[in-house]
A and B are shown apart, each in its own frame.
Chain A
Amino acid sequence: MRSASMWGQGSEPVSRTALDRYARLEAEGRYFDGESALPRQVMVSFGERSLVLMGFDGIAIAHWPLASLSAVGGAGDRTLQITPDVQSEERLVIEDLDMIRAIEAVCPELHRRPADRRGIARALVWGGLGVGAVVVMVFIIIPRLAEPLAQMLPPEREAQLGDAVVDQLRLVLGGLEEESAPGFCAEPDGALALEAMTDRLRAVTELPYPLRVSVLDHPMVNAFAVPGGRVVLFRGLIEEATSPEEVAGVLAHEIGHVIHRDPTVGVLRSAGRAGILGLLVGDVFGAAVVVAATEAVMNASYQRDVEARADEEALAILARAELPSTPFSAFFQRLAEQHGDLGVMQYLSSHPALKDRAERAEAGDSLAGLTFTPVLNDGQWLALRQICGETSDDP
């Protein structure tokens, strides 16, 4: 494309000298009136600041102002198709190379597409709407729909789903091999102790379905709730804890999830989101990555809300069971010291920062140093710590 500055920008779009040079140039062209596809042979020549299209009968068909001439198609073609202005439907096709060069010379703006700002405002509006729709869908509508839907599921179905999730997880922890999947800890005295602890918390909560607590023989310091009122503690967590109240705090937190059916809501939510994100998968040039990353951050923030709610429930349960929440807090403190807090990464983490949780747990302690009946006596606590002496494949 020729540079416009070559010819001096501004009020004088047509170079006079060039026009004088081509004043006598004439060439054949095909003219289309924009109403029919019927070609008309015309003679094309330059007039006073215009392109003159003359019929073979000597009658001028059109005078096209040079300033608004616009080329259709690309530069550098051996055929030039032009239109008097961008809106017009009339076309002129010229194949004479001299004439093409002449027109390109006197109309330096010929191949420039005028910046077309029509629609930019609408693009911004729709862009906002588009992003808004995805955000509203992913973060408002789907979660809102997911909660009532989760309430409508039959509890026994949820329990089955939960069992499937636990089986899947054991398989993954065992390196996808059936034999090395960690078993459930089933030492009878330990199981009785666990039952005693569960009973104490169960007595003060109302749950949509029976609570089932089991311990998985695995060194990870973790615990989770799956759909259907099932809570799984890891052996590593019990070993890490220094008192039964710490374990009870974690258990109360997971019960907090069960009360609100968080695991089931989570399954429904992620399914709905997958449907939307699948939309953007076919796209090669990377928009999907941005959306997925945004989604990860936003989802983590939702998860943190859920975790915080479960923490609150846990404090309430502990208070009703007349248990202190300070050990729960101390447990978080210790974990934060041992493993370090997450720093910047906490925005990507699905759990609130450990220190914050610890502080809140301490502030929520209803007993604050008063005496309380321990959740387990020393013998039971020892038994619980030995619970993985025997394992079985059935919970």
Chain B
Amino acid sequence: MTDQAGDVPFWDLERYRRDHSQPAEGTGGRHDGGGRDGGRDGGGRDGGGYGYTERKRPVLKLKFTASGGVLFLAALRGALFSILTLGLHRFWMITRLRRFYWSGIRIDGDPLEYTGRGIEKLLGFLFALVVLAAYLGAVQLGLTFLGLSFAADDPAVLQASLQLGTLAAIPLIFFATYRAQRYLLARTRWRGIRFGLGPGALGYTRRALLLSLLTLLTLGLAYPYQHYRLAKYVTDRAYFGDLEFTQEGGWGELFAQWIWIYIIAGFCGLMLWGLIDNPQDAAAGFLGAIAITFGATALLLAYQRYTIAAFRILWNNRYLGDSRFECDLSAGRVLWIYFGGGFATSLCTALVGGGVAFLLISWGATASDLTVFQQFEATNDPAVLWPAWPIALAGVVSYLVLLSVGFAFGQLFVSLPVLRAKVEATRINDPQLLALSRQREADRAGEAGGFADALGVDVGAGI
């Protein structure tokens, strides 16, 4: 490539491509085969093809434009229909919400695009149901038989053998996670070019199982290592068109964030121990309760803080082709969104609920139907309850409506702002290199995240 260095200004990609297309067409996509072993350290490649040694390297901030009103209505509608159809509509609701969120993410002015469809999600779910019914049913039956054959006299062991059935789902959960991510990427486009994730669900499952075992054996200390290795496994198989994503960095940085959980736990433990040491103190019990509450909250916060920091660290060390991502997501900001948004969600839902309850009561009081419950208690005859069915029906309906309202407020006050914070904290160095990407073939990703849906795995897309 260096031989082609010259006077082409870095922004004139069209000309760059014209000039380079004939000799370099074959390798045009992976334009930098050797880029991964050297030159990842910023300035190393600056002597290369674009001649921007003296210039400041361009950095692109990702933008997020999405209106909360549209989201709220879509989420409310989707959730209501989902309840009415006993969950069947949720595949279309998820599709709609993803389309909304994706189109809000702007990279260089061009929005992402989500091309998934509701029907394929339903198909995938049904397919997963068929497979899982056979697998889990047989596993559970077999385990129970073994449990009965060897430990029928000990209910505890028997119970444990039943719990083992849940463990049988764990490999499936890892498998499902990878497949769901693959589906998600296969249905994402930018500038008309598809993203994609290569095959590797079985390798992912094997690694995830071994790494989980390691985490278990080290009492969780190895979790950042597991987290990093799995993130790297997935990232290194991800593509945008024919450009490869790569995960650099290491797990040390993650560990530095993870260890805080242990420090806080240790501190809380010491505090409690100090309190238990003087049991004569009358205030000790009260202080102990406070210390436990405080400790639990602190641990929860520390864990959330770790997940946010991990997002930042991982994205800060990711490459797409030769374009490096940067991320300075602030844990404080996201925690504040969780807290403030959670509060706003519960407040708004409670207000709507209060309004509905007020209407119901004023209506019910005029119909004086509420007395039937006293009559029922007095006579114990269910027949007296019949006149109250409108109230009961209205109660059930309002409960279901409130469930949807709460979901929609949660999307509005938590999911949307968190995604906004994440997108706006992310930058891409040398974004002009992304224009080199060529279209990749469509990946059917047939079961469309169905296993993840059936097993209740969230792949981190928020929805």
- Chain A residues packing against B (C-beta within 8 Å): 30, 32-40, 72-74, 76-79, 81, 83, 89-91, 93, 95, 116, 118-120, 122-123, 126-127, 129-130, 133-134, 137-138, 141-142, 145-146, 149, 152-154, 157-158, 160-161, 163-164, 168, 227, 264, 267-268, 271-276, 278-287, 289-290
Contact = CB atoms under 8 A, between A and B. Distances in A.
Contacts, number: 215
Nearest to A282: B456
B454 interface: yes
A285 B136 contact: no
B58 interface: no
A249 B200 CA distance: 63
Interface in B86-123: 86-88, 90, 99-100, 102-103, 106, 109-111, 113, 117, 119-120, 122-123
B100 A35 contact: no
Contact of A287 (B13, B88, B123): B88
14 contacts: A32-B193, A73-B111, A126-B127, A130-B129, A130-B133, A133-B133, A134-B133, A161-B148, A161-B158, A164-B153, A271-B143, A275-B168, A276-B137, A286-B83
**5 smallest beta-carbon distances between A and B, as pairs:** A282-B456, A275-B140, A73-B103, A271-B144, A160-B153
Nearest to A93: B110
A23 B109 CA distance: 27
A161 B143 CA distance: 15
A272 B241 contact: no
B437 to A, nearest CB: 4
Given A38-B436, A272-B138, 19 more contacts: A32-B191, A36-B439, A37-B436, A38-B13, A38-B14, A39-B191, A74-B99, A91-B192, A116-B119, A123-B122, A141-B138, A142-B141, A153-B145, A157-B152, A161-B153, A168-B155, A271-B143, A274-B165, A276-B137
A275 B133 CA distance: 8
A279 B65 contact: no
Contacts of A267: 144, 148
A264 B147 CA distance: 13
Nearest to B89: A285
B17 A119 contact: no
B126 to A, nearest CB: 4
Contacts of A290: 86
A142 B129 CA distance: 16
Contacts of B165: 271, 274-275, 278
A36 B129 contact: no
A276 B133 contact: yes
Contacts of B113: 72-73, 81, 91
A373 B195 CA distance: 85
B436 A268 contact: no
B264 interface: no
A90 B129 contact: no
B300 interface: no
B83 A285 contact: yes
A76 B125 CA distance: 32
B385 interface: no
B428 to A, nearest CB: 13
B455 interface: yes
A370 B425 CA distance: 94
B190 interface: yes
Contacts of A273: 137
Contacts of A33: 192
A1 B190 CA distance: 24
Contacts of A35: 438-439
Nearest to A83: B192
A274 B153 contact: no
Nearest to A36: B438
B119 to A, nearest CB: 4
SS class of chain B's interface: helix, strand, loop or mixed? Answer: helix
Contacts of B162: 271, 274
Contacts of B436: 36-38
B455 A81 contact: no
B65 A285 contact: no
Interface in B372-397: none
Nearest to A272: B141
Interface string B424-463: 0000000000111111000000000000001110000000
Given A168-B155, A285-B90, A130 B141 contact: no
A120 B192 contact: no
From A76, A164, A274, residue with most partner B Cβ within 10 Å: A274
Interface string B224-245: 0000000000000000110000
A123 B140 CA distance: 28
B256 interface: no
Given A91-B192, A285-B87, A123 B14 contact: no
Given A137-B134, A272-B141, A40 B14 contact: yes
B82 interface: yes
B137 A138 contact: yes
Given A123-B122, A123-B123, A129-B126, A283 B87 contact: yes
Nearest to A281: B456
Interface in B131-177: 132-134, 136-141, 143-145, 148-150, 152-155, 158, 162, 165-166, 168-169
Contacts of A74: 70, 99-100, 103
Contact of A286 (B87, B133, B150): B87
Contact of A160 (B144, B152, B166, B439): B152
Contacts of A34: 192-193, 439
B99 to A, nearest CB: 7
Given A78-B65, A129-B126, A267-B144, A153 B149 contact: yes
B397 to A, nearest CB: 14
Contacts of A278: 136, 165-166, 169
A279 B132 contact: yes
Nearest to B168: A275
Contacts of A274: 140, 162, 165
Nearest to B241: A37
Given A116-B119, A123-B119, A90 B140 contact: no
B141 A37 contact: no
Nearest to B161: A271
B31 to A, nearest CB: 12
Nearest to A161: B152
A164 B437 contact: no
A180 to B, nearest CB: 20
Contacts of A286: 83, 86-87
B67 interface: yes
B41 to A, nearest CB: 26
Contact of A89 (B67, B434, B439, B454): B439
A132 to B, nearest CB: 8
A154 B149 contact: yes
A153 B83 CA distance: 44
B130 interface: yes
Contacts of A95: 109
A122 B240 CA distance: 30
Nearest to A158: B152
A120 B92 CA distance: 13
B136 A38 contact: no
A83 B189 CA distance: 13
Contact of A119 (B119, B138, B241): B119
A280 B106 CA distance: 37
A129 B124 CA distance: 12
A125 B310 CA distance: 43
Nearest to B85: A285
Contacts of A282: 455-456
Contacts of B103: 72-74, 77, 81
Contact of B106 (A30, A79, A89, A163): A79
B321 to A, nearest CB: 10
Contacts of B14: 38, 40
